[in-house]
Chains A and B, each alone.
Chain A
Amino acid sequence: MTRHALALLALLLLLSLPAAAQPPAPAEPPPGVTPFGEAVSDLQARLELARLLSYAQRYPESVQQYRKVLEAAPEHLQARLELARVLFWSGDAAGSVAILERIPEKDLSPEDRLTLAELYVARKDYPRAEKLLRAALQERPGDDAVRFKLAEMLSWQKRYPESLALFRELLSRRPEDVQVRRRLALILAASGDKDAAIRELRRSLGE
């Protein structure tokens, strides 16, 4: 009987050996690891989630996450700007403008100002759009996309001389740009200068 008990004890000891040989599992993860040099905060994680949802074009969920970020940090400038953009992409122009207009102009990046200008154009609020586009052009005189946008907008308002001046400026910078030349031709035609329009169209066709 004693021999059996000893044998059982020995067997139990043997069975427990592999478990005893395992190093004890750590109780908690090591502190102080900051992935990519950034501390993990809910706010930051949520902001990145909101951004990702917008990349995946899941706009309503993205908007919801941005709103949660802004509930926690109402003055979070980046979140407000990004929310405005997502609202714009999702078709809520009015919501986007409402957010952007509450942000001081000095805090808007050139891209944000352009977004706001586009929103104003979409609402046919041309004076405000023009102010922003001219400011953007003054800031970045080499930005032909802004120059083109401004020239187009002026032509819609039938302010042909100003529009033509900008298109000519554009062409002097990019003489080979056929599309800009054709656009210039159209505006020349609209302004009544048909001969010049024909001349420009011919040039755009390489004649």
Chain B
Amino acid sequence: MRDSMRQTLAYAALSLAVVLAMPALYPQVRPQWVAFRGAERGFAAGDLVGAARLYARAGASGFDLSPVLSRVGESYLAAGVLDQALPVFVALLEREPGNLAARLKMAELLSRDGRHGQALDQVDQALAVFPAWRTALYMRARILTFAGRFEEAIATYQTLLGEQP
């Protein structure tokens, strides 16, 4: 009886130790999952800069980020790590060429990188599908402004506002 009680207590102590050690051990065993979940939580909470850091960490440790490319790209873009964001958007648009939201994000990225001509190509592809899309028109006007093409930008703003250029 005493032995059995001792054994039960030993098992209970062991189980408790395992339960207590788990939160500390898990990040050591599955760091990529911890980083990924943190990134997803950060993204959902709007902390895109923090999410970008954690997505990068998850990706660096071999985690497959392909199902969440748009969130990864958006986070990198918000964090200003354009060199990391670019391949993400390239991969995303290869997989989903009709993803116009991603196309506009790509345009933003290219424009922020000073590649205004390529950025305009992306916006124009979106406008070819939806010629009166306000978001795309606005983006076109901003990019033309950044490129110093003021007269074209003015005409685009006027189109957006429903005024005669």
A binding-site residues for B, Cβ under 8 Å: 23, 25-26, 28-30, 32-37, 40, 42, 45-46, 48-49, 52-53, 55-56, 58
Contact = CB atoms under 8 A, between A and B. Distances in A.
Contacts of B150: 52, 55-56
B141 interface: yes
Nearest to A25: B129
Contacts of B126: 29
A45 B135 contact: no
Using C-beta atoms within 8 Å of the partner chain, give the interface range for chain B.
20 to 34
A107 to B, nearest CB: 26
Contact of B101 (A32, A46, A58): A32
A63 to B, nearest CB: 14
B157 A48 contact: yes
Nearest to B160: A45
Interface in B99-154: 99-101, 104-105, 108, 126, 129-130, 133-136, 138-139, 141-142, 145, 150-151, 153-154
Nearest to B163: A49
A33 B104 contact: yes
* Minimum-distance CB pairs A-B, first 4: A49-B157, A35-B139, A30-B101, A40-B138
Contacts of A55: 150
Interface in B54-87: 78
